[in-house]
Structure formats: C-alpha cells, structure tokens
C-alpha cells in the first residue's frame, strides 16, 4: 500500500493502511459475529416488544442471557469460521483474470 501522502486516500479522506491477511480475516470474523448477534438482538427484542406485557428491556435481558451462553457464542464463531474458510477456499480455486 502507498503512504497517505501518495494518493493513498480513500474517498472520505481516511488513510489506507496495510493489514496482514490474517488480521483481515480476524476482522472479517469479528464483523460476522457482531452482525449475527445484532440480527438475533433485533429478532428477540421485536418478539418481546410485540408480545403482550413485553417490553423492549425484557427483550434486551432475554437477548443478553441468550448471547452470553458459551454454546451460542461457540456456534456463532464456528459458523463464521466455516463461512470464511469456505469463501477463502473458493477464492483460491478461481482462475485469476
């Protein structure tokens, strides 16, 4: 990657820095875990909010108790790892143009 002064600026002015491939994959993994947790959050809170006598705070507590379980976190991380591994494998099999 080029330095920031050498036309290395992105469209919004952020400086591009080089990242190792392992770090990029780790960031991809963390983003996919966060997105999965966010989707579950929306589903659980909306469900609790729409139920009779349910509030959004009860939905948050339910989501937090669900997400804090080690088996759920393990499943989310394992799913993200398998997805990233499959994507990487597919990209290495494609011929470069």
Asked, for residue 44, whether it belongs to a domain, the answer is yes
Asked, for residue 78, whether it belongs to a domain, the answer is yes
Asked, for residue 86, whether it belongs to a domain, the answer is yes
Asked, for residue 36, whether it belongs to a domain, the answer is yes
Residue with tokens 């960031």: 27
Average pLDDT of the residues in 23-49: 86
Asked, for residue 70, whether it belongs to a domain, the answer is yes
* Residue 17 pLDDT exceeds 80: no
Residue with tokens 């759920």: 72
Asked, for residue 48, whether it belongs to a domain, the answer is yes
What pTM, to 2 d.p., does this model score? 0.64
* Residue 54 pLDDT exceeds 70: no
Q: Quote the Cα angle for 17-83-43, to 5°.
A: 100
Asked, for residue 61, whether it belongs to a domain, the answer is yes
Residue 54 lies in domain: 32-92
3-class SS of residue 42: helix
> How many alpha carbons lie under 13 Å from residue 92 in its C-beta half-sphere?
6
- Report the number of distinct structural domains present in the chain: 1
Asked, for residue 85, whether it belongs to a domain, the answer is yes
């Amino acid at each position: 990657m080029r330095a920031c002064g050498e036309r290395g600026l992105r469209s919004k002015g952020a400086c591009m820095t080089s990242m190792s491939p392992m770090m990029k994959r780790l960031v991809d993994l963390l983003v996919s875990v966060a997105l999965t947790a966010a989707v579950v959050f929306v589903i659980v809170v909306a469900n609790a909010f729409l139920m009779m006598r349910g509030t959004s705070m009860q939905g948050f507590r339910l989501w937090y108790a669900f997400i804090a379980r080690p088996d759920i976190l393990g499943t989310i991380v394992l799913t993200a790892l398998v997805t990233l591994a499959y994507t990487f494998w597919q990209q290495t099999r494609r011929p470069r143009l």
